[in-house]
Structure 1
Amino acid sequence: MNCLTLWPIILQVKQRNVLGIYLLSLSISDLFYVLTIPLWILYYYNGHHWKLSRAACFFSGFVFYSNVYISIFLLCCISTDRYLAVVYPFESQGFRRPGKAVQVSLLIFLATFALHLAIFLGSTSQDRGHDEDNRTCFEHIPLIQSVAIGNYLRFTAGFLVPLLILTWSYQRIVKGVRKSLTLGREQKAKVKLISISVIIIFVICFTPYHIILLFRTIYFTVADCSCDFEEKVHLAFNIALALTSLNSAVDPILYVLVSNGVKKDLRNAFTSFSRTLFAKGRAKGSPISLTKTTALISGT
């Protein structure tokens, strides 16, 4: 789905659409994560034993956790962009430019990479004494000090602050839409849908993981041994961790289908493809019904 929607989003970027730039950044991050899914499947199939190289483990973990927080920060950017577009449509024109959106996206990528590189290097140095025949991949049970410090930082800066930003932006957007005299009924509905979709993605995909992460870390900090607690929350924590992966699946569906411009580009791309098939079919003597194909694509 990410590959399918990438081209229409690129078309939006070519039209200097700020939202398109954030969507493209989100898709790029998701695509990198998708590349690591076979490695994680193999890991869980082997009973949480990492049988590949440590470099492969580092790459998979780095991409996975970076994708989580890049997605969170980009969701904040999308929500903030909608807020500025609705509440301050003229005043924000100087800030809401493609160049600024590119700079913000690059800053998010670089800052997230730098943070996780520091955390991972610290945890890797403490993992060197572990049994190489029964090793895990970034599953520290119990936690280690460097990971615990990183968890507090990720919960605060990577979850709590973005949650406050999203909630505040949504409230302001709803008020701005109600007062707007320039937006039509359909446009108001679309803006509200984008805003509430961001909240839904955030709550479902990221809240369970960060809540359990916080409790794990607090318990590790105050208790002499957190092994019993770790065993009790192990299954719930893994389920919550899996929910974060849903973000990569629902991002393109929600944002591409909500945006009328992207839907139009996607329909045009499929129509062009169906015409090519139709032409080839006629050349081979096997005509294809273009009308029927287009109707199926457009949902009419």
Structure 2
Amino acid sequence: MNVTPTPNSTNGPLCVDIEDSPVSDILMTVYILAFVFGLTFNVLTLYPILQQVKQQNVLGIFLLNLSISDLLFIFTMPLWINYYRNDHKWGLGVKSCSVAGFFYYSNMYISIYLLCCISVDRCLVVCCPLRFKPHRTSRYAWVQCAMVYAVVTIIHVFILIYDDLPDAHDDTYNSDHCYETYPMTPNVAVFNMIRVGLGFILPLLVLGVSYWKVLATVGKSPGLSAQAKRKVRLLSYGVIGIFSVCFAPYHVLLLVRSLVRFFYSEGFHCSFEKTMHFHFSGTLALSSLNCVVDPVLYVLVSNVVRDKLILCCRSHEQKGTEDCKLTSYKKESSNKGALI
């Protein structure tokens, strides 16, 4: 990507001048794939998840809220596709940029914290089932989901209200970028370091400890079959995989950028931003793939839900419009195949 310094009469030199580049087409392709597959998988798995919720399955409630967050983000994704199709030119006004960014970052952190809720829930169920079971109700799950949505939404609404919108939407000299304004201010650098700590490092520690205890407990349990142990390991490694592939690269580069801005001179910072711009944009696009991975990992890993999807597909193939009822499964079969 060709980046050159451009004068800016209000904020000093503009670090990165984003010009037309094939990189935009690569990023657009990533968002198109995330939109198509994310929408398909979330819609496909929504019905089985709703059936789990009707049965007051706690993990089903977490999954439903995860799908809702993913779908809200997916519906704004055409805006980002259009942005990269036009070579990093927004063209839709200041407020629409801020709203699109609000859903982007809200979804990211709602997903992260819901993954934490799921990991802690799995840990308590596996490690201390008798002591925890009386308190593990559908209300318990809904309250946790509501708290996650409320905290993340309030924080981002606060940022929208008190943030200077032109900082998110850089239309200086008709550049018309969205959330690609340089140089980063020291205050933003401090905020980003806090965001990385509370929004990524802390949840990663919670995930790591939770699934470490789950794997240790499951490995010593003689009552679980090899298939059940395999499913637990798959879910555990899958969650860590989501963080490693979707969220870790973005937060690592965000932390590095913030540290460079906070501890080095502006001249070095601008040179660094020119070098890292494409890589950072790529990690941000990569984070959008979590809306594709979430339903695949957490729904298809369940024997019951997977079998219901297969049954539904076969039913439609054989009978056309006949509805695929999930209530035909016996209660004990449902409990045995609960999402673990």
In 1, Cα distance between equivalents of 2:312 and 2:192: 43
Residue 146 of structure 1 deviates from its aligned partner by 4.5
In 2, Cα distance between equivalents of 1:263 and 1:99: 26
1:169 and 2:238 are equivalent in the alignment: no
1:229 and 2:272 are equivalent in the alignment: yes
Aligned residue for 1:90, secondary structure, equals: helix
**Corresponding letter in the other structure for 1:31:** L
Asked if the contact 1:43/1:49 (under 8 Å) is kept, the reply is yes
Q: How does 1:91-130 map to 2 (within 5 A)?
A: 91-125=131-165, 127=167, 130=171
C-alpha offsets along residues 161-193 of structure 1, whole Å, 9 cap, x if unaligned? 011111111110111102224433222221121
Q: Show the counterpart of 1:271.
A: 314
In 2, Cα distance between equivalents of 1:269 and 1:59: 37
**Corresponding letter in the other structure for 2:103:** V
Asked if the contact 1:18/1:96 (under 8 Å) is kept, the reply is yes
1:10 to 42, 50, 54: 50
Task: Pick closer, same or farther for the CA change 1:158–1:113 going to 2, 3 Å.
Answer: same
Asked if the contact 1:32/1:63 (under 8 Å) is kept, the reply is yes
In 1, Cα distance between equivalents of 2:142 and 2:318: 35
**Corresponding letter in the other structure for 2:95:** A
Residue 144 of structure 1 deviates from its aligned partner by 2.9
Asked if the contact 1:119/1:147 (under 8 Å) is kept, the reply is no
RMSD of aligned residue pairs (Cα, Å)? 1.9
Q: Show the counterpart of 1:257.
A: 300
Q: How does 1:78-157 map to 2 (within 5 A)?
A: 78-125=118-165, 127=167, 130-131=171-172, 133-157=174-198
1:76 and 2:116 are equivalent in the alignment: yes
Note the residue ranges of structure 2 that are not aligned, 5 or more in a row: 1-40, 323-340
In 2, Cα distance between equivalents of 1:129 and 1:57: 10
Task: Pick closer, same or farther for the CA change 1:272–1:146 going to 2, 3 Å.
Answer: farther
C-alpha offsets along residues 118-143 of structure 1, whole Å, 9 cap, x if unaligned? 23334335638852732211122111
Asked if the contact 1:13/1:20 (under 8 Å) is kept, the reply is yes
Residue 196 of structure 1 deviates from its aligned partner by 1.1
In 2, Cα distance between equivalents of 1:146 and 1:56: 24
Q: Show the counterpart of 1:243.
A: 286
1:49 and 2:55 are equivalent in the alignment: no
Aligned residue for 1:94, secondary structure, equals: helix
In 2, Cα distance between equivalents of 1:132 and 1:6: 45
Residue 148 of structure 1 deviates from its aligned partner by 2.3
Q: Show the counterpart of 2:254.
A: 213
Identity of aligned pairs, percent?
Answer: 43
C-alpha offsets along residues 9-57 of structure 1, whole Å, 9 cap, x if unaligned? 0101111111111111111111011111110011111121110022221
Query: Segments of 4+ in structure 1 off by > 6 A?
Result: none
Residue 264 of structure 1 deviates from its aligned partner by 2.5
**Corresponding letter in the other structure for 1:208:** P
**Corresponding letter in the other structure for 1:112:** V
Q: Show the counterpart of 1:285.
A: none
C-alpha offsets along residues 88-115 of structure 1, whole Å, 9 cap, x if unaligned? 1111113321111111011111111111
In 2, Cα distance between equivalents of 1:229 and 1:237: 11
In 2, Cα distance between equivalents of 1:207 and 1:129: 27
Q: Show the counterpart of 1:63.
A: 103
In 2, Cα distance between equivalents of 1:191 and 1:130: 49
Q: How many residues align?
A: 279
TM-score (norm 1): 0.87
Residue 242 of structure 1 deviates from its aligned partner by 1.1
Aligned residue for 1:139, secondary structure, equals: coil
C-alpha offsets along residues 245-288 of structure 1, whole Å, 9 cap, x if unaligned? 11111111111110112113322332333344288xxxxxxxxx
Q: Which of 160-169 and 148-157 deviates more?
A: 148-157
Q: Show the counterpart of 1:184.
A: 225
Note the residue ranges of structure 1 that are not aligned, 5 or more in a row: 280-300
Task: Pick closer, same or farther for the CA change 1:40–1:278 going to 2, 3 Å.
Answer: closer
1:21 and 2:61 are equivalent in the alignment: yes
**Corresponding letter in the other structure for 2:163:** S
In 2, Cα distance between equivalents of 1:120 and 1:148: 17
TM-score (norm 2): 0.77
